[in-house]
């Protein structure tokens, strides 16, 4: 067990946004978080990452209430890549990725060899080494997205939360990013809209509809025509891809 939630509920201004969400995620799992726009995926990621407190229920990390874990300890362990990460403009790519090392550094200490190695590794993992000295403001949307992932990887997390990480990426980098996440060996929770990526790269899928969990299990069991019709209001057929995974054809 790494991350788990019990009967998590959260709302704003009397509107229930997440209701009774319970999930228990085994170490090393790539969990795809699916659901229509507004179903609560980003809200759940923030609650699970400890950035927001639930109104009811609890999030635990290795059995400890996440609300009782200090910010710095949590940041050494858990990284979140949000959809629209705010970043100061007047910085380089390397500066942004270096920020990921902050929780590991002693106050006023310089950069260690381990910090530099983590930044080098993270830039290489997202194929952005050539941009190391580029100013952040010249990057394209997809390049920024990859740098934000590198910042999270430089943090050396055991749990990685990603909110629609393939947005803005060209197809090559979408596939590379999904493959990278799947082979990192971390516990990754990834909000996704591409159901075929979910089928191809995730071990387990959790489907939200209007703030409630409506399906939870391996892709083959979750991605059924009935569920896709009920939750996403689409008709589809399935093919088997050569690796035996489901491939969805939308009608």
Ligand X SMILES: Nc1ncnc2c1ncn2[C@@H]1O[C@H](COP(=O)(O)OP(=O)(O)OP(=O)(O)O)[C@@H](O)[C@H]1O
Residues in contact with ligand X by the rule CB under 6 A: 12, 17, 35, 37-43
CB 235 to ligand X: min, Å: 21
Bridge-based pairing state of the strands 212-217 and 204-209: antiparallel
**Contact by Cβ (8 Å): 198, 205:** yes
- Residue closer to ligand X (CB basis): 125 or 188: 188
Give the chain's count of helices (H) and strands (E): 9, 12
- Residue closer to ligand X (CB basis): 38 or 218: 38
CB 12 to ligand X: min, Å: 4
Closest to 147 (Cα-Cα) out of 169, 134, 128, 124? 128
Measured distance CA(6)–CA(24) in Å, rounded? 8
- Residue closer to ligand X (CB basis): 10 or 136: 10
- Residue closer to ligand X (CB basis): 210 or 245: 210
CB 83 to ligand X: min, Å: 7
**Contact by Cβ (8 Å): 208, 17:** no
- Residue closer to ligand X (CB basis): 159 or 163: 163
CB 52 to ligand X: min, Å: 9
Closest to 139 (Cα-Cα) out of 86, 190, 89, 74? 89
CB 177 to ligand X: min, Å: 18
């Amino acid at each position: 067990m790494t991350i788990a939630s019990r009967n998590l509920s959260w709302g704003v201004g009397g509107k229930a946004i997440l209701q009774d969400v319970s999930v228990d995620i085994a170490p090393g799992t790539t969990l795809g978080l699916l659901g229509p726009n507004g179903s609560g995926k980003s809200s759940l990621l923030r609650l699970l990452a400890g950035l927001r407190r639930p109104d009811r229920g609890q999030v635990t990390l290795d059995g400890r209430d996440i609300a009782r874990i200090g910010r710095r300890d949590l940041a050494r362990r858990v990284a979140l890549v949000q959809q629209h990460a705010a970043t100061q403009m007047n910085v380089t790519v390397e500066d942004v990725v270096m920020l990921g090392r902050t929780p590991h550094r002693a106050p006023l200490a310089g950069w260690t060899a381990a910090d530099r190695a983590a930044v080098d590794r993270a830039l290489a993992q997202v194929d952005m080494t050539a941009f190391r000295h580029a100013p952040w403001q010249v990057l394209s949307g997809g390049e920024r997205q990859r740098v934000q992932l590198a910042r999270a990887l430089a943090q050396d997390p055991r749990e990685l939360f990603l909110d629609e990480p393939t947005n803005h990426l060209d197809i090559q980098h979408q596939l590379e990013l999904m493959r990278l996440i799947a082979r990192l060996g971390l516990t990754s929770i990834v909000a996704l809209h591409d159901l075929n990526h979910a089928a191809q790269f995730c071990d387990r899928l959790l489907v939200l509809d209007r703030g409630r969990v409506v399906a939870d299990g391996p892709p083959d069991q979750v991605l059924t025509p009935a569920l896709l019709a009920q939750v996403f209001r689409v008709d589809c057929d399935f093919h088997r891809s050569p690796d035996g995974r489901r491939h969805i054809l939308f009608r």
